[in-house]
Amino acid sequence: MQKISQQVKRLKLLQSPWLEIGIMALTVILSYIALSLISIGAVIPEGGMALTNIVRLMFGFFVLSFTIAIIAVLAGIGGGVIYTPLMMAFTPVNSLIIRATGLIVAMFNGLVSSGPFMKSGVGNLKLSIVCTLGYGLGGFAGAQGAIWVAGRMGLSGEGTIRIVLGVIVLALGLYFLWGSKKTEWPEVKNVDRFTARLKIPRPYYEPSIDKVINYRVKNIPMGVLAMVGIGLMSGFFGMGAGWAVVPALSMIVGVPLKIAAVTSHTIIGMGDCMTVWPYILAGAIIPLFAAPWLVGQVLGGMVGAQVLIRVRSNAIRYILIGIMCYTSFGLVTDGLAKLKYITAVPGIISIIVLLVILVVVALAITGKLPKPLVKRKQQ
């Protein structure tokens, strides 16, 4: 019996997605070994960076990207929503390059994780295609606007927009906190004729409660219109938009939170393929800089997708709230700094805020939040 079980485990390792994960991991290891060997005898040009430091920096980007990808998949957001604020807070890299790479990060995170979701039956391909129409068009326009602003407007305009966006993100996070029952399993009573003709809903098996879930959707025209606006923000800031796509699908279209989180990855993956082109044409994509982020997103996205299929939607909600709060903090402080109301926030402050949010999220998931917060939430 033990031999049979061992053979079964070996067969699973040779099947998708574990086979792809193994090949990618081996490729990454061999690539960094090769780069390290090449760097030993490399000649450093005057004023240039040592190749060994470049290798270490790329490896650090890969590890960070892998971690971001897992968190992003579990929260139903694109990896760019975490990547962009972190890079703007801790590195002096040009803002346009950061935003362009952020879209690449979000795009690959969505594309890689979409396969396991669709295969498991949790993802809704028809809903994804319909919403991508609005998201992609809005994202393309937003990217064009970002390039125009970078060339013609000062920091004050971008700072104002970031503050407004940060307030919106925080408001959505608070709604998710105190309106949990409505967002987790929305009740759809009336379905308009246009939405009914599309025949979008499909039942799916929810392993966390061992039950087949049947759900309904509504307001598809309003949902597509909302996706246009979300795409505009995503394309402009290069942050991906899962933090906005998930609540829009839940609150406007009436999709259960887990379906919304899963579907958002497919929407972002397909939509950002259109959004990223203006950045590519403007020369804002640097392959050597983007490569480790892409590989990290592929591996982390595969691992995160396997976890999300089995995790409870309540945990996803708390993770999403934490991500939105941290994103809001980054947007507001960065906007105020650009308007010169405050100095740039030190990196240590950003780390402390992130750690506090992670602790609160962990307490919420384990049901150990302070009693006043729990009572207020129940009210």
pLDDT in tens, 153-163: 666 766 777 78
Mean pLDDT on 222-230: 91
Decide if 72 contacts 45 (C-beta within 8 A).
no
121 against 271, higher pLDDT = 271
- Parse the chain into domains and list their residue ranges: 17-36+50-378
pLDDT at 314: 65
pLDDT at 378: 47
Mean pLDDT on 274-290: 85
152 confidence band (pLDDT: 50, 70, 90): confident
Q: Is the pTM of this model over 0.95?
A: no
Residue 199 pLDDT greater than 90, yes or no: no
Residue 285 in 3-state DSSP? Answer: coil
pLDDT at 10: 57
Q: Which of 117-126, 310-319, 352-361, 365-374 tops mean pLDDT?
A: 352-361
Mean pLDDT on 238-267: 80
379 against 64, higher pLDDT = 64
**Quick one: DSSP state of residue 251?**
I
pLDDT at 218: 84
Residue 138 pLDDT greater than 60, yes or no: yes
| Of 63-67, 126-130, 188-192, 346-350, the least confident | 188-192
Q: Which of 219-233, 251-265, 331-345 tops mean pLDDT?
A: 219-233
Q: Which of 9-13, 103-107, 127-131, 172-176 tops mean pLDDT?
A: 127-131
Q: Which of 8-12, 168-172, 193-197 tops mean pLDDT?
A: 193-197
| Of 82-96, 100-114, 277-291, the least confident | 82-96
Q: How far apart are CA 58 and CA 358, in angstroms?
A: 26
Residue 340, φ and ψ in degrees, nearest 5 = 65, 25
pLDDT at 137: 92
Residue 12 pLDDT greater than 70, yes or no: no
In angstroms, what CA-CA distances link 59 with 23, 180, 293?
17, 39, 10
Q: How far apart are CA 17 and CA 14, in angstroms?
A: 9
pLDDT at 374: 45
Mean pLDDT on 16-37: 72
pLDDT at 365: 77
What's the distance, CA 277 to chain centroid? 19
pLDDT at 227: 92
pLDDT at 134: 92
pLDDT in tens, 360-374: 888 887 877 765 544
Report which of 128, 125, 124 is spatially closest to residue 136, judged by C-alpha positions.
Answer: 128
Q: How far apart are CA 196 and CA 192, in angstroms?
A: 6
pLDDT at 148: 83
Which stretch of DSSP H or E encloses residue 60?
A: helix 51-75
For the chain, how big is the Rg over CA atoms in Å?
Answer: 21
36 against 312, higher pLDDT = 36
